A and B are shown apart, each in its own frame.
Chain A
Amino acid sequence: DVKVTQSSRYLVKRTGEKVFLECVQDMDHENMFWYRQDPGLGLRLIYFSYDVKMKEKGDIPEGYSVSREKKERFSLILESASTNQTSMYLCASRDLAGALEQYFGPGTRLTVT
């Protein structure tokens, strides 16, 4: 089974802090994704990565950056956290040879105070 893990289930940070969210997948997938989930809005794509050191902006990249130095790890960075970034963050990965479905981690619920 594909396993996608995220470093924290719950995180509380202060406004202005730099926040790192880590995601690791164990199936050698090329593609990885970061979403945020808000009630009524579904999942919105923040950034995705085709492969190591390759990244592309999603629909809502403002206030975020990403890093992918190793194939199995994809990090989401909030350079200066703000209260409107309080949300559930979900990481996903996908095998290019598969049928396009994405495999999700359990999520990190981030609260910025």
Chain B
Amino acid sequence: AQSVTQLGSHVSVSEGALVLLRCNYSSSVPPYLFWYVQYPNQGLQLLLKYTSAATLVKGINGFEAEFKKSETSFHLTKPSAHMRDAAEYFCAVSDLKAAGNKLTFGGGTRVLVKP
């Protein structure tokens, strides 16, 4: 069974500082990987996805993530945090062999941005 671990349920960064959110996964087959963001009182919105093409993936709002097979990681970064980045972020993995290509989500990381 696949699983996703997000290190740190809460992260606090200063405005303008680097944002780094960690995600490690386990999967028996090459996975598809996703980062979603959830702003307060909203549903989840796709930030970016890895689908076995380039290992460095660029997403919306200045975020990017790098797939590292040897480390089974897919960490999310943004060079300079903005107040609007305050939200909860979820990493997810899709096992192509699973019926319905279901997504398995990590526990989420809530980002607080300090002025």
Interface residues of A (CB under 8 A from B): 4, 9, 31, 33, 40-45, 48, 50, 56, 58, 90, 92, 99-107
Q: In the assembled complex, how far is the CB of residue A111 from the closest CB belonging to chain B, in whole angstroms?
A: 15
Q: Which of B98-113 contact A (CB under 8 A)?
A: 99-103, 105-108
CA distance A58 to B1 in the complex (A): 13
CA distance A99 to B94 in the complex (A): 11
Q: Contact check, A101 vs B49: say whether CB atoms are below 8 A apart.
A: yes
Q: Contact check, B9 vs A104: say whether CB atoms are below 8 A apart.
A: no
Q: Contact check, B44 vs A104: say whether CB atoms are below 8 A apart.
A: yes
CA distance A107 to B59 in the complex (A): 23
Q: Which 10 A-B residue pairs are closest in the complex by CB-CB distance? A: A104-B43, A42-B105, A104-B44, A43-B105, A42-B107, A106-B43, A101-B46, A105-B43, A42-B108, A100-B94
Q: Contact check, B90 vs A42: say whether CB atoms are below 8 A apart.
A: yes
CA distance A35 to B64 in the complex (A): 26
Size of chain B's interface in residues, with CB distance under 8 A? 26
Q: In the assembled complex, how far is the CB of residue A15 from the closest CB belonging to chain B, in whole angstroms?
A: 26
What residue of chain B has the Cβ atom nearest to residue A50's Cβ? B100
Q: Contact check, A41 vs B102: say whether CB atoms are below 8 A apart.
A: no
With a cutoff of 8 Å between Cβ atoms, the chain B residues found around residue A45 in the complex are: 102-103
Q: Contact check, A40 vs B42: say whether CB atoms are below 8 A apart.
A: no
CA distance A42 to B91 in the complex (A): 9
Known: A43-B90, A56-B99. A100 touches B51 (CB 8 A): yes
Q: Contact check, A42 vs B43: say whether CB atoms are below 8 A apart.
A: no
Q: In the assembled complex, how far is the CB of residue B40 from the closest CB belonging to chain A, in whole angstroms?
A: 11
Q: Which of B70-110 contact A (CB under 8 A)?
A: 90, 92, 94, 99-103, 105-108
CA distance A4 to B46 in the complex (A): 14
CA distance A99 to B34 in the complex (A): 11
What are 17 sample pairs from A and B whose C-beta atoms fall under 8 A apart?
Answer: A31-B100, A40-B107, A41-B107, A42-B90, A43-B105, A44-B105, A50-B100, A56-B99, A58-B102, A99-B32, A100-B51, A100-B101, A101-B46, A106-B41, A106-B42, A107-B41, A107-B43
